[in-house]
Structure formats: structure tokens, C-alpha cells
Amino acid sequence: MAALTMTELLAVPGLDRTLEPTLQKALDGKAKPPGALGRIEELALTLGLIQRRVRPAVKQPVLLVFAGDHGLTRSGVAAFPSGVTVAMVDTLLAGKASANAFARVVGAQVRVIDAGVAADLSDRRGLIQAKIARGTADASVEPAMTPQHAEAALLAGARLANEAIADGADLIALGEMGIGNSASAALLMHRLAPALLEDCVGPGAGQSQDGMRRKRAVLARAAARSNAAAPMDVLAQFGGFEIAMMAGALLAAAKTGVPILVDGFIGTAAALLAIRLAPGARDYCLFAHASAETGHRLMLQRLEARPLLELDMRLGEGTGALLAVPLVKAACALLSEVAELADVLEAAG
């Protein structure tokens, strides 16, 4: 598949809904009272529209975990040092992270990508190399990345999603790993939702009261440094390479007609960016869960999104997206495996 240009990547049409009456009739005709399976029926209809068939199927889900570091950590926005990103990448590659365990349970493949880790990981076996730079710059004092790097990260994410789809992926789940990325996501939410900055800043991987005061002050400095509002400008000023690649992957999957499972706060910030760049991409997003991270519910409201799960999670890695995979598979099975009500009534005499 030829590499996409930015113009091509952003040309994402909304869903063609001509099949909706047929899908609704099929759902209403199943052996159950109409609407009795609630949001699973809504999910089944959405999947049928995305895949453009009456019997949608998900057999090969793939989790793309993008890893990157953030210059904001040098100003103290995170409770852990950037070196933890490397350690967690190694844990993911070893198959011992929470995301790996959940992926095995739900039958998903995990692909780990170096989007912009602040270390040389070229010797890591199994790691997909896509590094834009060794972490972003400190967004509290200068732009996080150049416009060229922002575009390159989006296109890299798109390429990696297209490669997974070419290998058979029929559901893309998005995950991330990066110390400091909740700070970057808060700034993206602040400008793109939009929302008051104070409503966007949460504890991330864990912050003390002093740590939260410091994080809020650093992000206030960052926000005051630039008045960027256009999506690509906001990405360059405040974003992260892993967030940009998630957005690019989402856009590519939507363009190809593959459903996307969006994870928690950082994943939803990537989705927010993608949707502000190409509004049609919203139709292909399945929002997995409501994170316990501050601001996530407000961001979901701005996107008019109802998450499938609410489990008080705030880990990242794509763990919430993975836990929603069985619901997606169940929704497909509703349309493809459940008997017709007419047949049941005929058998009953």
C-alpha cells in the first residue's frame, strides 16, 4: 500500500448509513424482544455500518501501543522519571505488562512501537522502530515538536495501522506508554475540547498534593506561552509523538473502514485530535471505558461519546480498550449467530 499524504489521510468520509434500516430490521428480528440487549444492539448496528455488512465480524483484533517521552517531565509534571518509559517498553516486549495479560485473554495481538522514546532502543527485539526524535521538547518553554515532526508522526501512525490491517487486523485498539503524557493530553484537551485547563489536569500515574500543584503551574506556563488553537498547531505546541501516532493510526483505520477501540484519557485526547482534523473519523470510534483520570468524562462529553465500560481504571497501555474487545465480538455474534424470532415462534407452533 502506497504511503498516504496528509491530504489523503484527512479525507475521511462519515459513515454511509444506507444499510441502517436493514441492520435494524435484522436486529429486531432476532430471538429476543426488540431492544432487549440495549447498547450491545447499538454496538452491533455501528459495527455493521462500519464494516458495511449485515453480519459484521471481528476475528483479529490488534493493539498498537505507541511509546514516547515528554520534555515536560523535566519541569516536574510526572511522579516518575522518563526512564520508566524504557522499563515499561521492555516489560511490554517481554509479554509481562497488564496489556499483554489482557490481550492474551481476549485474543488480541500486541504491537509495540517506539514513537519517540528518549533512549536508543534500536537493539530491542520485537520493537517496531518509528522514532521521530528522542522525546519532545519541554512544552512549558518551547514548542514540543516542529510542524514537520508533527506531520511525520501522524503519517507514521497511519502507516503502522495500515500495515496491521494489511496483515489481517479487523479491529484496531489504541494504547500508549509515556511518562508525562497525561500532561500533554491535558493541554491538547484544553485547546481542542475546549475546556478550562483546571478541568483537564489530573494525577496521571500518581501525584502528591505538592506534585499536583507543580503540574498545574507548569501546564499553566505552557498554555500561556502559546495561543495555538488549530489542531496541527496545538499538536506541535503541546503534543507527544505517541499521541500523534495514535491519532494517525485512528485516521488511517477510519479511512479503511476498520473500527477503532479508543482507550482512556490519553487515547481519547488522540481521538479528539484526529476528529478535529477529520470530523468524519468520529463515526468509526468505539470508546472503551471511562477513565478515573480527571477530565476524561468531560472530554467524552465534548465528543458526544458513551464509553462501553466504567471500571475506575487509569493505567493506559490500551488495557481498557482490550477489556472492551469481548463486547465488540459479542455484538458481532448477535447479528451472525442468534436465531431469528420467526423461526423460534414457528418451532413453538
- Please give the positions annotated as active site: 317
CB 322 within 8 A of CB 173: yes
Shortest CA distance to 281 belongs to which of 270, 297, 294, 295?
Answer: 270
CB 89 within 8 A of CB 65: no
Amino acid at 279: P
CB neighbour burial string for 193-212, b if at least 16 within 10 angstroms, e if fewer: bebebeebbbbbbebeeebb
d(CA 284, CA 274): 11
Task: Name the H helices within the chain.
Answer: 6-9, 20-28, 38-51, 83-93, 98-106, 147-166, 181-192, 209-225, 231-238, 241-256, 265-277, 296-302, 319-337, 341-347
